[in-house]
Amino acid sequence: MDIETKSGDRRPATDRTRTMAQSALRGLAVALVSLPGSVLCFCLTLVSLALVPIGIGIVTTPYVLTGVRMFADWRRVLAAEWGGVRIQRAYRPLPKDANPWARTFGMLRDPATWRDFLWLPVDMTLGFVTALLAFALALYPLEGFVIAAGLWRVWDGGTYWYGFVPVSDQTTALYAAALGAVLLVAAHWLTPFLLRAHFRLTDAILGSHQIELAERVRVLTETRRDAVDASAAELRRIERDLHDGAQARLVAMGMDLGTIEALLEKDPAKARELLARARRSSADALTELRELVRGIHPPVLAERGLGDAVRALALRLPLPVETDVDLPGRADAPVESAAYFAVSEILTNAVKHSGAERIWIDLHHADGRLRVSVTDDGKGGAVIGAGSGLAGVERRLGTFDGVLAVSSPAGGPTMVTVEIPCALS
Amino acid sequence: MRVVLAEDLFLLRDGLVRLLEAHDFEIAAAVETGPELSRALAELEPDVAVVDVRLPPTLTDEGLQCALEARRRRPGLPVLVLSQHVEQLYARELLADGSGGVGYLLKDRVFDAEQFVDAVRRVAAGGTAMDPQVIQQLLSRRAAVDRPLERLTPRELEVLELMAQGRTNAAIAAKLVVTERAIAKHTANIFAKLSLEVSDDDNRRVLAVLAYLDRGH
């Protein structure tokens, strides 16, 4: 809605007038149909439900409720076409050959049926008023002009109230016209706004948010599985690295030290040689552990947070990187870590495949989202998937509801953007 | 020479105390947290501080921050920073004030006692001790964008690397097993090729090289 309003503000005045007139007529149409329609639907439903205990209702209710649903569906179409509001439809399917009994109670057990039923009285009151008001607001100013044009003479001697203006002669009639002009200007914005408000009201009561929920559940299930898989794979990798690396070196060192102890008196020269080797082993083990730690949780990230960790990362690259960081606080550790590794992977990708000579990193937080964009002046053509490593980044970001976008036309430049919803502390 | 030592892990602190005492240093204080370090640096006026980057209570870069803060209050206070990992970012912050008396080494360097003690003495004397890893990162990064660096011979690059670590001509000569005069010739060539101003002062020379390598990033 906000976007529409903004774009509406920029349109020329004639367009806005047309939109107002259109909204007013649509408001009138909706108002004319919604009042009798919903009153009829509401009454029929009540009667049909009341007749259920004596049996007749069992037969009539499915038809009445189907009628109500058709009425609601028609309003859904209008909301989508005239108001740009998509109202979700979530009636439970009924078996085709169900008997009236099963159909009646099947429909009555459906929460969507009760949402419809609740909507009808709201539609015939508040819904009707908002739609009609949209129309009246566009029409009422015209009356002011007509009064000024001479209509005031009809109430010769008496006083006619136009809004808060008492009209009794030409001067006051002109005041009425002035008020009408002000109202007309206001109507340019208020009329479309009221019509949209009407459809939003309809959506608030009639709309099912179950489809969105189901979609959310699907996404969560998927990202949770990815997260579990990824962390299991990560643990396996760490285990293997420790087993083959630092652990093996410490074993070798221990053995060397044992040998040195035995050789100390017999062959000091050999012992000294082994001692040097043991020291090398310990240094190598440390180097490996350091690399491993960097892969698990980079020390700079722990010590300084995301901004400086990305700066430090940029300083390790063999090409000039401009880093622009604007973070007023720190995100949660898991988010920082995810963002860091995403940037790390994107940078690795850029250095390896793009042939870029410069890279720009922009890191900031706005509107409750952490946003990182990495731009390079390379040859472009980067895609998510195809073993680019970006697919993995996208999957891992999914756990945080983060998204990855790649813009990389052939010939460059490439811009990879990561967005993660999060709060800073 | 009086040393203030800050390291939170008991085994390492104990080892460092022993190592330094064995080399005739006087341990003025051996502390384990940031606030203690700040107090010791302010009150004891040591000749050199040996500081772990990560210290309690925050276990972030508290040690580094304390060292930087102490140097702001007493410019040129010699500080040797130790860490499990080295970052150019931190090296740059330490070198930023341009007054020397700065060291930044991996904890592994303690393994070689002679070299480590040499680094402590060098820093205490207002010199520089940069970890070879920092210098290598700087060099490889610089090499990617720098034309003048390409004109150096492999030997000169080697000398440049050792010089950037903060070593004196004598130490470089010993390391490369050549005469000190040969090294002096190499350094003169390097300075000419990189268009750096020649200086007789060793410390100034190192800082100039480091500034050159870190330029423009």
- Tell whether A222 and A258 lie within a shared domain: yes
User: Which residues in chain A are contacts of B61 at CB distance < 8 A?
Assistant: 303-304
Tell me, what's the pLDDT at B203?
76
User: Which residues in chain B are contacts of A355 at CB distance < 8 A?
Assistant: none
Structure tokens at A40: 């009829």
Kindly report whether the global pTM for this prediction surpasses the value 0.80: no
A122 versus B203: the higher-pLDDT residue is A122
- Contacts across the A-B interface (CB distance below 8 Å): 55
- Tell whether A317 and A280 lie within a shared domain: no
- Tell whether A101 and A194 lie within a shared domain: yes
Please check whether residue B55 is in contact with residue B87, taking contact to mean a CB–CB distance below 8 angstroms: no
Sign of CA dihedral B53, B55, B58, B64: negative
Tell me, what's the pLDDT at A323?
94
Secondary structure letter of residue B60 according to DSSP:
B
- Tell whether A264 and A166 lie within a shared domain: no
Structure tokens at A395: 């999957």
Please give the Cα distance from B59 to B54 (Å, whole number): 5
- Quickly state the pLDDT bin for B41 (edges 50, 70, 90): very high
State the smallest CA–CA distance between residue B170 and chain A in angstroms: 25
Residue of B nearest to A287 (CA): B108
State the smallest CA–CA distance between residue A269 and chain B in angstroms: 19
Domains of chain B: 2-130 (3.40.50.2300), 134-213 (3.40.50.2300)
* Most confidently predicted of A225-234, B41-50, B184-193: B41-50
Above pLDDT 70, what percent of chain B? 99
User: Which residues in chain A are contacts of B145 at CB distance < 8 A?
Assistant: 319-320
Which ipTM was obtained for this model?
0.85
User: Which residues in chain B are contacts of A300 at CB distance < 8 A?
Assistant: 85, 87, 89
CATH at A319: 3.30.565.10
Nearest by CB: B60 against A290, A302, A316 = A302
Tell me, what's the pLDDT at B24?
94
User: How far from each other are the two terminal CA atoms of chain B, in whole angstroms?
Assistant: 37
Angle formed by the axes of helices A210-244 and A268-296, nearest 10°: 170
Partner-chain contact B88 A315, CB within 8 Å: yes
Tell me, what's the pLDDT at B7?
94
- Tell whether A249 and A169 lie within a shared domain: no
- Tell whether A234 and A100 lie within a shared domain: no
Sign of CA dihedral A234, A237, A242, A243: positive
- Tell whether A64 and A146 lie within a shared domain: yes
Of A62-76, B10-24, B131-145, least confident by mean pLDDT is B131-145
Please give the Cα distance from A240 to B156 (Å, whole number): 41
- Tell whether A274 and A201 lie within a shared domain: no
Amino acid letter at A213? L
Tell me, what's the pLDDT at A377?
92
Tell me, what's the pLDDT at A7?
42
User: Which of A296, A312, A330 is a domain's end point?
Assistant: A296
- Tell whether A310 and A292 lie within a shared domain: no
User: Which of A296, A326, A349 is a domain's end point?
Assistant: A296
Partner-chain contact B141 A299, CB within 8 Å: no
Tell me, what's the pLDDT at A146?
85
What mean pLDDT is reported for chain B? Answer: 89
Residue of B nearest to A279 (CA): B111
- Quickly state the pLDDT bin for B216 (edges 50, 70, 90): low
Domain count, chain A: 3
Please check whether residue B173 is in contact with residue B161, taking contact to mean a CB–CB distance below 8 angstroms: no
State the smallest CA–CA distance between residue B137 and chain A in angstroms: 7
Above pLDDT 90, what percent of chain B? 56
The alpha carbon torsion through A240, A242, A246, A250 (nearest 10 deg) reads -100
Please check whether residue A20 is in contact with residue A187, taking contact to mean a CB–CB distance below 8 angstroms: yes
A330 versus B208: the higher-pLDDT residue is A330
Tell me, what's the pLDDT at A89?
80
- Tell whether A60 and A119 lie within a shared domain: yes
- Tell whether A226 and A346 lie within a shared domain: no
Partner-chain contact B54 A303, CB within 8 Å: yes
Question: Residues B48-58: pLDDT tens digits?
Answer: 999 999 999 88
Residues of chain A scoring pLDDT < 70: 1-12, 156-157, 386-387
User: Which of A137, A171, A206 is a domain's end point?
Assistant: A206
The residue range of the domain holding A100 is 2-206
Q: Give the residue among A348, A345, A313, A341 at the shortest CA–CA distance from A400.
A: A341
- Tell whether A165 and A57 lie within a shared domain: yes
